[in-house]
Structure 1
Amino acid sequence: MSIEELYDDAARERAVAEPPKRVDAPVRLAFERDRARVVHAAASRRLAAKTQVVGPQTDDFVRNRLTHSLEVAQISRDLARALGTHPDIAETAALAHDLGHPPFGHNGERALAELSVGCGGFEGNAQTLRLLTRLESKTFDADGRSAGLNLTRATLDACTKYPWPRSDADGPHGVHADGTPRVVVKFGVYDDDRPVFDWLRQGVEGRGRCLEAQVMDLADDVAYSVHDVEDGIVAGRLDLTRLDRDALWATVRSWYLPGVDDAALDRALADLRAVGSWPRTSYDGSRRSLAAIKNLTSDLIGRFCGSVQEATFAATDGRPLVRHRADLVVPESTEVEIGVLKGIAAHYVMQADDRVSLMERQRSLVAELVDAIWDRGPDALDPVFVQDWQDAPDDVARRRVVIDQVASLTDASAVARHAALVE
């Protein structure tokens, strides 16, 4: 059975039926069309100017949310192909996974969550679903309501990292990849987006994620654990040949792996150091040093994905690895090794007093911007949001429009809008 045959008509269904393409148009399968729609979405372009860990304007080398998403997409596609699940679905989910993030990364998400308590909260993944199914411009239903990009059911399901509403969310714990503490509960759908969420989850019971969403999530974890270390080395902030073990393990436990003992962390670091491309000399900025780092990055990604592939195959006994028929298996040793890499980046790159004060200023800017737009109403909105404001039945719905507007901004446009409306 081919990979296409493993996905039935329900998986390919769109919320709004679409007429067939012109006979002279290039032939593309349903999931290929989904990928193209995400690539061409305005929200995808805005990722280039949104913070990943540090602001995109701080350095020519630093990753932004777009470059991070492209790297996650590559890992996700390769792992999906190796597992036998649909590579287009997994890649599209990876390309879309950060679309809902507001300016200033998780710091902006925290600010908007605090400002939107009365209208259903804010969460980057729930905002991603809202963008894909409502805010992006592509398709309208028979009643004239936007259906967003009108992606297939299987693709939307793969884009849903937290398939539950806010009311069912667990309490926040741990930290984000940028080091900020998690204060936002994780959920994947706002209450007023429940109809499309219920449609895409038809036939699925409980909170289980489809396999393609699990692939996307692992690819995200692998990408930032490896690439943050790479960025830190090139920036001169860390040296893999000189690691302060005791201080490092304290960071790993406080940020990522609270229950892991020293012996497990020592073993994980020893296994990582045994990777043939692990550096034996300090980075010196030469072309050879850059190549060595790239080789390490490639080897680590291959190591993590290979271990997951092997463990998943061993646990599934030949069952098709598609949608809700199987789960990804991540060995504990791999989880600890990824946690060690995250801890290295956290300890040497992210724990800085200047970042703490900057993040406080960013949250204040977001709060002042929301207040200013709320006070001015539709005159302060982009034209695309004006109709949403006019159609809103009450202040709760209008507040959501303001949150949508601010969430759509890039770091630079949020600063510029704040200067125009507040300063």
Structure 2
Amino acid sequence: MTTDAARRVVEPVKDASHGRSPYQRDRARVLHSAAFRRLAAKTQVHMAGTDDFLRTRLTHSLEVAQIAREMGTRLGCDPDVVDTAGLAHDLGHPPFGHNGEAALDAVAATCGGFEGNAQTLRVLTRLEAKVYGPDGGSVGLNLTRAALDAVAKYPWPRRPGRRKFGVYADDLPVFAWLRQGAPAGDRCCLEAQVMDWADDVAYSVHDVEDAIHGGYLTLEPLVADADERAALCADVAAVYSIESPDYLGEVLVDLLADPVLAPLAHYDGSHRAQAALKATTSVLTGRFVSTAITATTARFGPGPHRRYAADLVVPRPLRARCALLKGIALRYVMRRADAQGHYERQREIVTDLVRVLAERAPEGLDPAFAPLWRAAPDDAARLRVVVDQVASLTDPSAIAWHARLVG
């Protein structure tokens, strides 16, 4: 077995007569996991269950996987590796999306903080129930090295000046194992880069689609008001892009003038309007995918490319367009004035749950987490178990637990 297909705990070969690859098994393990099912009731941008049209973390993950699989296949990656990465990339997200993530990071300061990508690694390699090692400890889904590396969008521990990171201190041993064979430094494998770009594409295009359909967003103020365009570009430069607001402003003018956005101007929710909106999202997604593939093969050749044989090339204007679409959802949906009280309440729920469960553990924890709390060697490790418990909850479960435990 190749190093890429190795698992931390050796398992008997299955389905060899049917040609089922280790990476197909990885994909199936993620797809059938409890953590994946829970994504159906976790917030993407809008709270899960508030509208039948809007996306959840589950539908977003399925869309990321589809985009990543298509991109990866065209570049020569193993399609099941990039598909698995797309399905798995958000397994560590807590209830209430990035809002819940920020609240958990604050309350977990004494045990190393919280980050959704680091939590994803923890879910895949420790928390999800599937395989135990010879020492009696859980190794999670026991995915192959290639699959785990493909999920590692941020392959480094927490560092000053970096908001994102991909591994907690107590998960460094498995992180070192999955990074064997990787070049020195923080470089992601090609499959992780493909998944990351697929995530950005799905996030940017589909969140704008949801916002238009939900009536939260209209593009007229941006088209008509130069000051509003400047404010948006300042938001994007601060949150999503390394580009200057001036450069983003130039790209934004071109983006707003693109005829493909015309159906967004007078959306009324009718069947024909929905079809036009879907056509817009399809065209934008196709452009983001095809342009990156063309740029990558122009630099590295036709391939096939996988692992560390090439890097994904995303042209500067394309990346800026994607960041601007993400910024539109940020400014006009997530930061809208009438949502702020709702967000504050979500953070209170998450913070209260950690506090109350830390006081009542282990009795207040699920049976899967109570033994981990008892085995934890110190207060920081016990707090991490409580954070793991809260992060595992769906949006409705977090609300129900809060009502039961706090009132």
Q: TM-score, normalised by structure 2?
A: 0.93
Check if 1:233 corresponds to 2:212: yes
Q: 1:262 to 1:30 in 2, by over 3 A?
A: same
Aligned with residue 326 of structure 1, among 310, 314, 323? 310
1:3 alignment counterpart: none
Aligned with residue 99 of structure 2, among 107, 112, 116? 107
1:152 alignment counterpart: 144
2:167 alignment counterpart: 189
Contact 1:35 1:88 in 2 (8 A): yes
Distance 1:258 1:9 in 2: 38
Distance 1:263 1:368 in 2: 43
Contact 1:252 1:339 in 2 (8 A): no
1:358-387 CA distances to partner (integer Å, 9 max, x unpaired)? 111111111111111111111100001111
Contact 1:253 1:259 in 2 (8 A): no
Alignment of 1:6-405 (within 5 A): 9-21=2-14, 27-166=19-158, 169-172=159-162, 185-204=163-182, 205-240=184-219, 243-246=223-226, 247-255=228-236, 256-257=240-241, 259-262=243-246, 265-270=249-254, 273-276=257-260, 278-279=262-263, 282-318=266-302, 320-405=304-389
Distance 1:60 1:155 in 2: 32
Distance 2:251 2:378 in 1: 57
Deviates more, 1:317-326 or 1:266-275: 266-275
Shift of 1:249: 3.2
Q: RMSD over aligned Cα, in angstroms? A: 2.0
* Number of positions where the alignment pairs a residue of Structure 1 with one of Structure 2: 401
1:175-204 CA distances to partner (integer Å, 9 max, x unpaired)? xxxxxxxxxx31111111111111110122
1:104-142 CA distances to partner (integer Å, 9 max, x unpaired)? 111111111111111122111111000000100111111
Q: Percent identity?
A: 55
Shift of 1:397: 1.4
1:338-372 CA distances to partner (integer Å, 9 max, x unpaired)? 12322333333233222222111111111111111
AA aligned to 1:285 is G
Q: TM-score, normalised by structure 1?
A: 0.90
1:177 alignment counterpart: none
1:208-265 CA distances to partner (integer Å, 9 max, x unpaired)? 1000000011011111111111112112233346634420331122234474355653
Gaps of 5+ in 2: none
Deviates more, 1:255-264 or 1:70-79: 255-264
Gaps of 5+ in 1: 1-7, 173-184
Q: 1:299 to 1:241 in 2, by over 3 A?
A: farther
Contact 2:39 2:56 in 1 (8 A): yes
Q: 1:404 to 1:257 in 2, by over 3 A?
A: closer
Deviates more, 1:255-264 or 1:383-392: 255-264
AA aligned to 2:97 is G
Q: 1:317 to 1:371 in 2, by over 3 A?
A: same
AA aligned to 2:54 is V
Distance 2:379 2:405 in 1: 21
1:67-125 CA distances to partner (integer Å, 9 max, x unpaired)? 11111111111111111111111111111111001111111111111111111221111
Contact 1:277 1:295 in 2 (8 A): no
Distance 2:160 2:229 in 1: 28
